[in-house]
Amino acid sequence: MKQQAFHISVCALCLIGLFAGDLNAQQLPLRTNWQFNYFQENPAFAGFSDCLELKAGFRQQWVGFDGAPSTAFANLQGELGRSAGGGIHGIGGRVTDDSAGPYGFTQLDLAYAYHLKMAKGWRLAAGAAIGFMQYRLSLGEIILPDFQAGNDPAITSSANQLLAPTMDFGVWAYNKYTFWGLSVQNLIEPSVDQWGLDTRFRRHVSFNGGSMIRLEGPWSFHPAGALRFAAGAPVAVDVQAMFDYDEVIRFGLGYRNESALSGLMTLQLMENLTVGYAYDWNVGALSQASSNTHEITIGVLACPVKSGHVPCAAFQ
């Protein structure tokens, strides 16, 4: 009975929060271990690795409930070449599949970034990603209440799948110990009038920053934070504090305002293979009704890292 009630509530959230013409909400998935998979957040990261680097993972929210949100993601990025002045050309591709109850989408895009060499060990990167999203709505899975929900344009529309273009933009400044980033997703805010008049998928803006602080011996401390903005949704504040031992294991805690307390870890299993895991404890309004969240990410480098690239120790 509890699961059925949750399923109904997920459907209601999908219909009200995502499709109503006069409402907006957080429409893109969040990831907890974003420091370990920054290219998925910001296209300016393309080219950070000297050779090809693959990141792939899965996030399951509210384990044990029907219709709970789940996200699968993968990306590949690397250095394409260098200019005479030391600038780096980077390319990459990203794919995301997200589902929540009857609603879901699949996004695919290609990215290009240029890393400009600056003074005192700093680089400034700017990148863009262009692709498309396929949105889907499984009408057969929707359980409607009695109060005129059948009049919702998302329900009465004959279109249960939509295709829309996407464009993301990002900038990223970094040196060996510090990074600052800005990313804008859904830059063009594609319209989906088939699911309601003046309905569109809103722009999402994120600010990120972090640093690495040397401690005694092989230890280092890695504080980081993120601010995320979307029209009609509360500002999401994400802070993390992690410790690194000899660049082999990194672990710590994170907190997302009114949402979750997180435990994070990354472990380098082999020279070119790293695994990241995050566990979210719900501390918000759903803490009494829902289970917690698991997120796992695998990182694979296609070749040894070259010595000529400027690393950022805040990232694994």
pTM here is 0.82
User: Checking DSSP bridges between strand 103-117 and strand 88-100, what pairing results, if any?
Assistant: antiparallel
In a domain, 114, yes or no: yes
- The answer to whether 276 and 28 have CB atoms below 8 angstroms apart is no
Tens digit of each residue's pLDDT, the chain (316 residues): 334 333 434 443 343 334 333 333 456 788 999 999 999 999 999 999 888 999 999 999 877 777 788 999 999 999 999 998 889 999 999 999 998 877 888 999 999 999 999 999 999 999 999 999 998 877 655 665 655 555 555 555 555 778 889 999 999 999 999 999 999 998 888 776 655 556 667 889 999 999 999 999 999 999 999 999 987 788 999 999 999 999 999 999 999 987 889 999 999 999 899 999 999 998 866 665 556 899 999 999 987 655 445 557 666 5
In a domain, 315, yes or no: no
Identify how many contiguous H helices and E strands the chain contains and give both numbers. Answer: 2, 15
In a domain, 309, yes or no: no
Question: What is the total count of domains within the chain?
Answer: 1
Partners of 208 in the β-ladder: 181, 226
**How many Å is the maximal CA-CA distance in the chain?**
67
Write out the residue range of the structural domain in which residue 46 sits.
2-301
Q: What is the CATH number of the domain that holds 8?
A: 2.40.160.40
In a domain, 58, yes or no: yes
In a domain, 232, yes or no: yes
